[in-house]
């Protein structure tokens, strides 16, 4: 498996097929022999911006950090133990409700969408 | 009836591409100025969008991934961001134009200025995208848009000069008084509108909304091979009636009311009423398509939850983006820019977005990791490569043509 081709930028879905996010970056850990291993998937626009780099990347990461409400919040991290298998998407073994909610989604839901009539209505 | 409704997605997608407000007028204008010398462009466009929409529908049905997921996976975050920026500009500008177009259709019916209708239309559009079921929206507006068939009927009621129409179609080129530059400008504009990027975004996302799986491959194909040719036929009927009525008189067409004239001449009041209803449904359908596509592309680029199959509270960022898109479209309109001209400007941004959208579809449609044994056959790949080259050529030619012909003004 190639990290760049098969893992990065794939859609992550939970055990019921609901979208969780993209593999915006990966966390590498070196073992005793100095071989790197992927230990976690990193999600969120801050991680994405840092990966893109340059002026544009800094803008994306900066905006994302500002919108998340705290400037030093680490990116959302999903341990590789939670990966069931990788096909056209990265399939997790858990339900999305067990993972942390993205801060922007929570903020927009509570301050904007939830206040409009019909937000909880199944259309 | 259920079988019939199953192709509503394809029809609505095609209407948004072929007979949205800019194209309704562009087809009639081309017909008035050049006769049906652009008929071949519509044919080339229909074959191209069929080839790529079939691939996109197949990839989505088998793998569950809509097109913008593929764009980011195969092109990486930077290039995909350039595509996102380009296609978002196309989509939002078109959304604005369509809201104005619905206003223009209502102006024809009520004589109230379209700018007064804009806030009302924008609100109704938002409410529909917020509350109504996806299948209800596609059925109502996809099928009502078909009322534009009135232009096909009108053509057969008009005293057409078949030999000169055949002469125009079989000898493509500018008639006396027009030059090759404007001829090609119209050709590129009509071709680009047949393959607008939001069509494949909307079609594949709609397939996810309708929960298509490998079992629905046949449904997907019927949608593609019925919907898009039907859209092309409606566009052709507009060109044809306009070529029949206006071209012999050397009149030019630049407003929606003139486009409706042939239907009124051939079929009287009822024909006019059907034309106005058709304009209304087609532009409102295109507004829905572009409005949802705004949310689809952004959410799929970042991996957010999206779609009308979820409650709005569970897709807060998606619905926020759709709202911002509608507001931005209204903002553009409120500068009193002509909505019909607005879609012509999107050509520039299409030039960036088109190749970057169709290349990843072609690549993934050959990837066994996604499609197993349902990868492209030889025909799909041949067409795919040929059209990629045409799209590149059109993308390169678009901006110089636009500048030298002053948007087809001659």
Question: Given CB atoms, is B312 within the 8 Å cutoff of chain A?
Answer: yes
Answer whether B58 touches A (CB < 8 Å).
Answer: no
Interface test with B, best of A2, A11, A103 (most B CBs within 10 A): A11
CA-nearest residue of chain A to B129? Answer: A123
Choosing among B70, B131, B207, B303, which should be mutated to test the A contact, i.e. which has the most A CBs within 10 A? B303
Cα separation, B320 vs B327, whole angstroms:
11
B297 in any annotated domain: no
Specify burial of residue B132 (Cβ count, 10 A radius: 0-12, 13-18, 19+).
Answer: middle
Pick B313's closest partner by Cβ from A24, A88, A114.
A114
Quote the minimal CA–CA distance from B130 to chain A in Å: 8
Contacts of A112 in chain B (CB under 8 A): 316, 320
Contact A118 B131 (CB under 8 A): yes
- The residues, ordered by sequence, that sit 6+ positions from B300 with a Cβ below 8 Å of its Cβ are B66, B67, B68, B69, B72, B201, B205, B306
Per-residue pLDDT tens for B53-68? 999 999 999 999 999 9
- Tokens describing residue B285: 């359908």
Q: Is residue B365 part of a domain?
A: yes
Asked if A11 and B311 come within 8 Å (Cβ–Cβ), the reply is no
3-state secondary structure of B253: coil
- Cβ-contact A23, A83 below 8 angstroms: no
Length of chain B: 410
Query: Is B247 in the A-facing interface, judged by CB distances under 8 Å?
Result: no
Residues 6+ apart with CB under 8 A from A43: A12, A20, A21, A22, A23, A24, A75, A76, A77, A78, A102, B303
Neighboring chain A residues of B73 at a CB cutoff of 8 Å: 9-10
Most confident segment among A3-7, A72-76, B364-368: B364-368
Residues A25-64: tens digit of each pLDDT: 999 999 999 899 999 999 999 999 999 989 999 999 999 8
Residue A101 at interface with chain B, using a CB cutoff of 8 Å: no
Are A18 and B131 within 8 A, CB to CB?
Answer: no
Distance in Å, alpha carbon of B397 to nearest chain A alpha carbon: 29
**Helix or strand run (H / E) with residue A30:** strand A25-30
Residue B59: closest CA among chain A residues belongs to which residue?
A88
CA dihedral (B75, B200, B130, A11) positive or negative: negative
Does A43 sit within 8 Å of B303, measured CB to CB? yes
Question: Residues B275, B148: contact at Cβ < 8 Å?
Answer: yes
CB contact under 8 A, A18 and B313: no
Instruction: Render pLDDT for B327-378 as a digit per residue (tens, 0 to 9).
Output: 999 999 999 999 988 887 887 777 778 888 999 999 999 999 889 899 999 9
Q: Which pLDDT belongs to residue B257? A: 94
Cβ pair A89:B317 closer than 8 A: no
Inter-chain CB proximity B302 and A104 less than 8 Å = no
Please check whether residue B374 touches A, CB under 8 A: no
Say how far apart CA A103 and CA B338 lie, in whole Å: 40
The yes-or-no verdict on residue B184 having pLDDT over 70 is yes
Confirm whether B320 is domain-assigned: no
In a domain, B110, yes or no: no
Residues of B in contact with A9 (CB under 8 A): 72-73, 76-77, 80
Dist CA A43 CA A24 (whole Å): 5
Question: Does residue B187 lie in a domain region?
Answer: yes
B58 inside domain: yes
The answer to whether B123 touches B392, Cβ cutoff 8 Å, is no
- Spatial separation of the C-alpha atoms in residues B345 and B347, rounded to whole Å: 5
pLDDT at B395: 84
Scanning every residue of chain B, which has its alpha carbon at the shortest distance from the alpha carbon of A121? B311
| Closest partner CB to A10 (pick from B73, B132, B316) | B73
Q: Is residue B322 part of a domain?
A: no
For the cut 70, the answer to whether the pLDDT of residue B2 exceeds it is no
Residues B204, B67: contact at Cβ < 8 Å? Answer: yes
Give me the domain span that covers residue B386: 2-85+132-276+342-404
User: Which of B73, B77, B311 minimises the CB distance to A52?
Assistant: B77
Of the candidates B65, B303, B312, which has its C-beta nearest A88's C-beta? B65
- From the list A48, A52, A108, the residue facing B317 with the nearest CB is A108
Report all structural domains of chain A as residue ranges with CATH numbers, in order of start: 3-115 (2.30.30.240)
Helix intervals (H) in B213-312: 217-245, 256-302
Size of interface A-B (CB pairs under 8 A): 92
Q: Which residues of A touch B78 (CB under 8 A)?
A: 52, 56
- Partners of A29 in the β-ladder: A37
Q: What is the mean pLDDT of chain B?
A: 92
DSSP state, residue B277 = H
In a domain, B198, yes or no: yes
Q: What is the pLDDT of residues B273-315, one digit of tens each?
A: 999 999 999 999 999 999 999 999 999 999 999 999 899 999 9
**Residue pLDDT, tens place only, A6-30:** 899 999 999 998 899 999 999 999 9
**ipTM, 2 decimals?**
0.94
Mean pLDDT value across residues B28-39:
94
Q: Which of residues 31-90 of A touch B (CB under 8 A)?
A: 43, 45, 48, 51-52, 56, 87-89
pLDDT band at B1 (very low <50, low <70, confident <90, very high): low
Structural domains counted in chain B: 1
**pLDDT value of position B410:** 54
% of chain A surpassing 70 pLDDT: 99
């Amino acid at each position: 498996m190639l990290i760049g081709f098969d893992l990065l930028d794939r859609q992550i879905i939970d055990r019921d097929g609901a979208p969780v996010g993209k593999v915006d970056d990966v966390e590498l850990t070196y073992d005793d022999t100095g071989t790197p291993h992927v230990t976690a998937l990193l999600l969120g626009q801050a991680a994405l911006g840092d990966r893109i780099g340059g002026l544009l990347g800094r803008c994306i990461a900066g905006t994302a950090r500002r919108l998340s409400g705290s400037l030093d919040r680490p990116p959302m991290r999903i341990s590789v133990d939670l990966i069931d298998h990788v096909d056209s998407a990265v399939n997790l073994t858990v339900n999305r409700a067990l993972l942390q909610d993205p801060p922007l989604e929570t903020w927009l839901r509570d301050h904007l969408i939830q206040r409009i009539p019909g937000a909880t209505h199944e259309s | 009836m259920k079988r019939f409704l199953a192709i509503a997605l394809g029809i609505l997608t095609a209407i948004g591409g072929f007979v949205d407000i800019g194209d309704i007028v562009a087809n009639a204008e081309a017909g008035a100025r050049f006769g049906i010398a652009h008929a071949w462009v519509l044919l080339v466009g229909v074959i191209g969008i069929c080839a790529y929409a079939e691939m996109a529908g197949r990839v989505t049905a088998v793998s569950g991934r809509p097109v913008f997921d593929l764009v980011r996976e195969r092109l990486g975050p930077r290039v995909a961001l350039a595509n996102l920026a380009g296609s978002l500009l196309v989509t939002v500008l078109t959304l604005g134009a369509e809201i104005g177009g619905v206003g223009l259709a209502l102006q024809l019916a009520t004589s109230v200025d379209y700018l007064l209708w804009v806030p009302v239309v924008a609100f109704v559009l938002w409410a529909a995208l917020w509350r109504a079921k996806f299948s209800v929206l596609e059925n109502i507006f996809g099928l009502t848009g078909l009322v534009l068939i009135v232009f096909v009927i009108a053509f057969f009621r008009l005293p057409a000069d078949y030999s000169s129409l055949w002469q125009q179609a079989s000898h493509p080129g500018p008639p006396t008084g027009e030059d090759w530059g404007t001829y090609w400008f119209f050709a590129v504009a009509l071709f680009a509108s047949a393959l607008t990027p939001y069509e494949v975004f909307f079609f594949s996302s709609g397939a996810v909304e309708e929960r298509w799986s490998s079992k629905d491959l046949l449904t997907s194909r019927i949608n593609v091979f019925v919907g898009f040719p039907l859209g092309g036929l409606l566009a052709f009927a507009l060109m044809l009636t306009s070529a029949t009525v206006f071209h012999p008189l050397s009149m030019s067409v630049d407003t929606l009311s003139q486009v409706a004239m042939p239907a009124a001449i051939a079929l009287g009041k009822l024909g006019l009423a059907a034309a106005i209803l058709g304009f209304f449904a087609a532009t409102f359908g295109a507004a829905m398509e572009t409005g949802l596509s705004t949310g689809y592309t952004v959410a799929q680029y970042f991996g957010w939850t999206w779609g009308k199959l979820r409650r709005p509270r569970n897709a807060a960022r998606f619905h926020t983006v759709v709202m911002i898109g509608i507001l931005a479209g209204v903002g553009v309109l409120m500068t009193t820019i002509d909505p019909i001209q607005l879609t012509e400007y999107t050509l520039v941004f299409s030039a960036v977005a088109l190749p970057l959208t169709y290349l990843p579809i072609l690549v993934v449609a050959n990837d066994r990791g996604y499609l197993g044994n349902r990868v492209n056959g030889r025909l799909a790949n041949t067409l795919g490569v040929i059209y990629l080259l045409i799209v590149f050529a059109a993308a390169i030619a678009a901006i110089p043509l636009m500048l030298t012909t002053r948007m087809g003004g001659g």
